[in-house]
Structure 1
Amino acid sequence: MLDQDSNGVPIRAVSRAIAVLQAINRAGSANMTTIAQLSGVPYPTACRLVETLIHEGMVERETGRKYYRPAALVQTLSHGFQGYSRWVSGARPHLEALTREILWPVSFVTRVGHAMVVRDSTHSLTSLTFNHYHPGFSLPILTCASGLVYLSFAPPEERQILIDGLKLAEGIDREALVMFENDYLPQKIRSDGFAIHVRNPHTLNPGKTSSISVPLFDGELLAGTLTLVFFSTAMRPGDAARQFFASLSRTARAIEDSWGRTPVAANG
């Protein structure tokens, strides 16, 4: 049984510490103000949590300036975790082919808790990107196209569990959460077959990129999403949908077919 306080609510200090560590990981290196903003944790609390993470060896302060970055010990958090090698290896050639076709970078993204995590991307294969997003980069589930798609196509029971957890979280998009609670947004996204998020706020260049995403299934299992990122100033959301949806859908089906031809036992 998970440790909870007497009211059955997850321990806030643990949730905040995780949010701070994820914010530092997403940024790569950040000052305390940025860490507090990205994590949605009050500045004084963020300071105490960063000092604790430094003490535990998970975070280190950069020499000569008050910036903080993940330390090598943070890698121990993934020990024992079964990865996504089967999914990644099956998707990779299709990701590359799609980027060659449309030039914009695309990513295979999965859910971990209340975050969407990049498993593979083609940002390094195109000049149409501000940054290279490596495997492990995470985004809050309500503030990215991949998260909106995942929540919309997830089984109702899983979606409700995620929504209930998000209600207890800090710094989330409450308006989006309400639209998921009344099922308006997921119905629309399922009907459209995709989601678009304009001016993504939690990227390495906040507000400068937008994204469009479609679901990926391994059989009946919702495995994750296929997500394309484009410059916010390059095109309007409707134009992006008309230009990219067909290619994304075709590539998603090709990826799913490749997974169907690969034995599940190969997943490592």
Structure 2
Amino acid sequence: MEKGVPIRSITRSIAALKAINRHGSLSMMEIAKASEVPYPTACRIVQTLLYEGLIEQEPARKRYRATAMVQTLATGFQHDDELVRLARPHIVGLTKRVGWPVSIAIRVGREMMLRDSTHSNSSLTFERYYPGFTLPILDSASGKVSMAYAPDDEREMILRFMRVSQEIDLNYLATAEVSLDVERIRAEGYAVQGRNHFNLTPGKTSSISVPIFRNGHFEAAMTMVFFVAAMRLSQALELYLDDLRATAAAISHDLSNPMPMGNA
């Protein structure tokens, strides 16, 4: 498995489905571009996804969208329901205090996936992000936090698979690995992304992320996003880092000492 992607056709199909799910509706050409596959390959993938009922063609338009069938893929994925339930009041409260949107993300494979956010609770945002949106693990503040707090062998396994992936530029990966200062992130308890390039408004926002723990083990990353034009990263750290840490600590406490649902 370490010599390359085990079954490339499956990897490409997953990339296409993720692209459609993320954007909501895509043309065939857009699917090919977003999943980085040749157009003929994209056509075959789309036909397969249509056959399996995971996507459908929009009426009167040559565009494709995900169906409710994709939810069946997450039927067994319920371990973080408690995380969302317990974290929600804390991140809503934090957004009320600071104004900026806050999100909770977990690592899924080589990406960070949003499980909840307060973008809909704040006017200080360019876009609204919903559960399921993904970010690259080495190009996001949440991903850097996740990698820093991952066990050493697990972190190396992730990097090893990224090195053999034909979809990742090795020069980029080498630079990203150097910039991943694991010891500093662990010592200071946070990570930053000066400019977020892989979101819905590339280059217009910065972010600060702190870890959330369950019984001493890393569980998720909590991230605050703010406009690059609004303030420098150093100012944001001075203004908000203490509140971010305190909020993450409160969520960690609730996760480690959960109350029965009826008493919450």
The TM tier, using the shorter chain, reads 0.7 to 0.9
TM-score (norm 2): 0.86
Aligned 1:74-153 pairs, distance under 5 A: 74-153=70-149
Which residue does the alignment assign to 2:202? Answer: 206
Secondary structure of 2:61's aligned partner: coil
| CA displacement at 1:36 relative to structure 2 | 3.8
| CA displacement at 1:156 relative to structure 2 | 0.4
Which string of whole-angstrom CA distances, capped at 9 and with x for unpartnered residues, describes residues 100-124 of structure 1? 0111110111111112111111111
**Which residue, 251, 255, 263 being the options, matches 1:255?**
251
Whether the aligned pair in 1 keeps the contact of 2:105 and 2:220 (CA below 8 Å) is yes
Is 1:53 the equivalent of 2:21? no
Which string of whole-angstrom CA distances, capped at 9 and with x for unpartnered residues, describes residues 22-53 of structure 1? 12222222334443444344444334323322
| CA displacement at 1:175 relative to structure 2 | 4.8
Structure 2 residue runs of 5 or longer lacking an equivalent are: none
Whether the aligned pair in 2 keeps the contact of 1:28 and 1:70 (CA below 8 Å) is yes
Question: Structure 1 residues 262 and 204 mapped into 2: Cα distance closer, same or farther (>3 Å)?
Answer: same
Aligned partner of 1:35: which letter?
I
Is 1:11 the equivalent of 2:4? no
Percent of matched pairs sharing the same residue: 47
Structure 1 residue runs of 5 or longer lacking an equivalent are: none
Which residue does the alignment assign to 1:216? Answer: 212
Give distance in 2, aligned partners of 1:78 and 1:254. 28
Question: Structure 1 residues 37 and 193 mapped into 2: Cα distance closer, same or farther (>3 Å)?
Answer: farther
**Which residue, 57, 63, 66 being the options, matches 2:62?**
66
Is 1:163 the equivalent of 2:153? no
Which string of whole-angstrom CA distances, capped at 9 and with x for unpartnered residues, describes residues 131-181 of structure 1? 222222222222222112111221101101111122233444645632565
Aligned Cα RMSD in Å?
2.7
Secondary structure of 1:64's aligned partner: coil
Aligned partner of 1:202: which letter?
F
| CA displacement at 1:255 relative to structure 2 | 0.8
| CA displacement at 1:199 relative to structure 2 | 3.5
Residues matched between the structures, number: 262
Which residue does the alignment assign to 1:189? Answer: 185
Aligned partner of 1:224: which letter?
A
